[in-house]
Every structure is written in C-alpha cells, then in structure tokens.
C-alpha cells in the first residue's frame, strides 16, 4: 500500500477541496495548451502543412498519454509512493511546456509533445490513484462532484488567455500550490500571450510576444484550425 494511504472513516473537507483543486490544476495545464496554443504553435512551425501535422501530433500524443497514464499509475503502485511521481511529473511538465517555445522543426515538436504527454500523465496517473488510497467509499460521490469542476476550470483558462491585455500580465505569475498535494497550475507557467479574437490578432499577438515564431506568410488562419477536444 502506498505510504500516502490514509485509513480513516472520513476524509477532511480541506483535503477533498485541495485534491479537487489539484485535479483542476492539471486540467488548466493541458486544456488551453491543447485547444489553443498547440494549434497556433504548429501553424507557426509548419505553415500551410499545419493540418496534417496537427492530426499526427495530436494522435501520437493521445497514444503517449494513454501509455503514460497506465505506466506511471502502475509504477506508483510498485514503488509504494505517489508523491514522488506527481512532483517529478509536475516539474517535467512545466519544463517541457517552456521548451515548446524553442522548437522550430515539426519533428522536434512531435518528439517534445510525446515527452510532454508522458510527463503530464506521470503527474495525473498517480494523482488519480491517490484518491483511492485516501478517500473512503462514503465520500467518493462528493469527491467525484468536486472533480467535475476541473474541465470547466480548464475551459475558463482557455478563455482567459484570449482576453486582450489580461492574460500575459496577470496569468503568467499565477501559481497555486499545497504542501500536501504537490500540484500547481502548469499552464500559468507556459508562454501565454494576449491574443485578439480575430485571426489577424492572433498572429500579431504571437509575433509581438517574442516567444513564438511568426506564422509564415500564406499559412492557414489560426481561426481555421480545428479545436482539439481530447484532454491529455
């Protein structure tokens, strides 16, 4: 049994809320990136060939996410500890998101996405198993209800990064952490830019931010890119 397991009739409300907040932090770490920032980055790197690369990268990333979730959940069982895997996945997740801004080749971006999906699920796999260790059956329904906020929080983060003159100044320094659950909001550490709603506004904002390559001339408008619904 993992060292973090708690044998109790009921878990404290504080723990349940912090666990739900940690899970929401994971959603904030991948929803805005997969639905908005990654398609824009792919367009900046690949130009007019963006749709083909978008399909390839997202499909390969989904496979890596599935493998990583199973693998690291199992490894956290075998090691008898969850926290170390969660903390390591968090650190790698933040570092790899930051590294996305340095990639200029499609194959390199594909490789980085595969590594990022593995790191993300190194964090999420053991975290999901932690609930079974610490939360008694009589509170599983309450916890499940609290976890339902996570997709909404991820979607809200996606909205906030598109608000002009708001996201870059206010979200880039926002972090949430807790001593008992080693999770923060990785999406707030990645290079979030203030973007306008029109396609030309996206391109101008990305270029002026200085962290992302300009979208090549003649490439498909950012607003034409499909939205990726898969989460991690």
Whether residue 225 is contained in a domain is answered as no
Whether residue 222 is contained in a domain is answered as no
Instruction: Give the whole-number percent of the chain exceeding pLDDT 70.
Output: 67
Please answer whether residues 147 and 23 qualify as being in contact, where contact means their C-beta atoms are separated by less than 8 angstroms.
Answer: yes
Identify the CA nearest to 65 among candidates 36, 37, 26, 9. Answer: 26
- CA 191 to chain CA mean position, Å: 13
Q: Distances in Å between the alpha carbon of 12 and those of 9, 17, 106, 201?
A: 10, 9, 47, 47
d(CA 55, CA 63): 12
Q: What share of the chain is helix, strand, coil (3-state, %, to 5)?
A: 70, 0, 30
pLDDT of residue 159: 86
Whether residue 122 is contained in a domain is answered as yes
CA atoms within 13 A on the CB side of 107: 0
pLDDT tens digits for range 166-191 = 654 444 333 333 322 333 333 333 33
Give the pair of three-digit tokens for residue 33.
């990136």
Alpha helices in 34-168 (DSSP H): 38-46, 50-79, 83-99, 106-134, 140-147, 149-160
pLDDT of residue 125: 92
Domain CATH number, residue 47:
1.20.1250.20
Whether residue 227 is contained in a domain is answered as no
pLDDT tens digits for range 69-117 = 999 999 999 998 899 999 999 999 999 999 988 888 999 999 999 999 9
Give the pair of three-digit tokens for residue 199.
């396609």
d(CA 194, CA 171): 10
Whether residue 60 is contained in a domain is answered as yes
Instruction: Give the whole-number percent of the chain exceeding pLDDT 90.
Output: 30
Whether residue 221 is contained in a domain is answered as no
Asked whether residue 202 carries a pLDDT value surpassing 60, the answer given is no
Whether residue 1 is contained in a domain is answered as no
Whether residue 231 is contained in a domain is answered as no
Give me the number of domains the chain comprises. 1
Rg of the chain over CA atoms, in angstroms?
A: 18
pLDDT of residue 107: 94
- DSSP state at residue 181: S
Domain coverage including residue 57: 13-216
pLDDT (mean) for 48-53: 91
Give the pair of three-digit tokens for residue 218.
């003649």
Q: Distances in Å between the alpha carbon of 133 and those of 5, 7, 218?
A: 5, 8, 53
Please answer whether residues 130 and 11 qualify as being in contact, where contact means their C-beta atoms are separated by less than 8 angstroms.
Answer: no
pLDDT of residue 195: 31
């Amino acid at each position: 049994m993992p060292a973090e397991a708690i044998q109790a009739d009921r878990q404290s409300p504080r723990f349940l809320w912090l666990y739900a907040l940690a899970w929401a932090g994971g959603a904030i770490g991948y929803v805005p990136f997969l639905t908005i920032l990654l398609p824009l980055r792919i367009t900046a790197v690949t130009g007019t060939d963006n749709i083909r690369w978008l399909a390839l990268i997202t499909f390969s990333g989904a496979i890596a996410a599935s493998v990583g979730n199973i693998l690291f959940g199992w490894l956290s069982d075998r090691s008898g500890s969850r926290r170390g895997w969660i903390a390591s996945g968090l650190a790698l997740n933040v570092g790899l998101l930051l590294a996305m801004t340095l990639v200029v080749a499609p194959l390199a971006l594909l490789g980085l996405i595969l590594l990022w999906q593995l790191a993300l699920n190194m964090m999420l796999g053991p975290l999901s198993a932690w609930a079974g260790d610490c939360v008694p059956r009589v509170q599983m329904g309450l916890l499940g209800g609290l976890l339902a906020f996570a997709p909404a929080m991820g979607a809200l983060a996606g909205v906030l990064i598109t608000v002009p003159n708001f996201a870059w100044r206010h979200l880039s320094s926002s972090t949430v952490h807790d001593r008992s659950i080693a999770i923060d909001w990785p999406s707030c550490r990645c290079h979030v830019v203030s973007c306008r709603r029109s396609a030309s506004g996206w391109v101008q904002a990305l270029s002026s931010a200085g962290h992302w390559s300009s979208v090549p001339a003649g490439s498909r408008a950012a607003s034409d890119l499909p939205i990726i619904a898969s989460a991690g």
